[in-house]
Structure 1
Amino acid sequence: MLTKSAITTMLPVSDVDRASRFYAECLGLSQTGTGPDGSPIFAAGMGDAIGLLPAEAGAQSTHTVLSFEVDDVKAEIADLEGRGVHFEDYDTPELRTVDHIADMGGEKAAWFTDSEGNILCLHQTG
């Protein structure tokens, strides 16, 4: 049943080695293996995974492709910034961040990009 399946999100990356270093060193994820095509696979918690799929530069999406649910978004930001991750700030009519965090009612969120330009998010509910 799909409702009980672990998910592997495949992200397009133009430089597999650079992206692998980012996911291992900056995000602290463990590489668990490779796909049949040689794509590195990283454990992403709760049985899910992230695969790094070789792709042309520009194949990355202009929207959030992956969001990590965390217990304390402020603490996660501090930890990731210490590892070299740069968080985005927004000040638009639709979205405003303070100290990288958007408060959207019952949810807080912060966005950053990986080494390849994929937009990733941290979010905290409640």
Structure 2
Amino acid sequence: MLKEREIMAVLPAVDMARASDFYGNVLGLDAPQVMDDENLLYHGGNGTHFLLYKTDNAGSAKNTQMGWETTDIDGEVADLRSRGVVFEDYDFPGLKTEEGIASTPVGKAAWFTDTEGNILNLFQRA
């Protein structure tokens, strides 16, 4: 049954107003559907969405929590940088970013964090 259902990412936030400002004013997402004071539902392309919920546990994950697929990672990175987004630089075995973008056999990727410490990324398939 689950294979036929939409998948929804769920992201934590300590400060809902700060996080909402980031997603709306910095990333340029449309205003969320307000579920209640502690839950905001953001809609993306092609029927996708994610839930932002209030919790003190935000920022504790050390892995990518959500990403967007793009066909123009260089343009998206440039646009987000112009809005104040800072991209992470990594230098791990098998993964090194150059000017915030890593090239891998499967595509290019770039990572940044939101105001709550969640690690987000952009990905462009090869």
> What TM-score do you get using the length of structure 1 for normalisation?
0.90
Find the counterpart in structure 1 of residue 87 from structure 2. Answer: 87
List per-residue Cα deviations over 1:66-123 (Å, max 9, x = no partner).
0110001110000111111110011222320111111111310000001100000100
State the 1:44 CA deviation: 2.0
Cα distance in structure 2, aligned partners of 1:7 and 1:32: 17
Range with greater deviation from structure 2 (92-101 or 19-28):
92-101
Find the counterpart in structure 2 of residue 68 from structure 1. Answer: 68
Change (3 A) 1:34 1:112: same
Aligned residues: 126
Cα distance in structure 2, aligned partners of 1:26 and 1:59: 18
Find the counterpart in structure 1 of residue 12 from structure 2. Answer: 12
Cα distance in structure 2, aligned partners of 1:115 and 1:52: 12
Cα distance in structure 2, aligned partners of 1:118 and 1:106: 24
Q: How does 1:5-44 map to 2 (within 5 A)?
A: 5-35=5-35, 38-44=38-44
Which aligned runs of 4 or more in structure 1 are off by greater than 6 angstroms?
A: none
* Aligned-pair Cα RMSD in Å: 1.7
Cα distance in structure 2, aligned partners of 1:77 and 1:4: 32
Gaps of 5+ in 1: none
Range with greater deviation from structure 2 (105-114 or 87-96):
87-96
Percent same amino acid at aligned positions? 41
Q: Find out whether 1:51 has 2:51 as its counterpart.
A: yes
Cα distance in structure 1, aligned partners of 2:78 and 2:102: 15
Cα distance in structure 1, aligned partners of 2:5 and 2:25: 28
Gaps of 5+ in 2: none
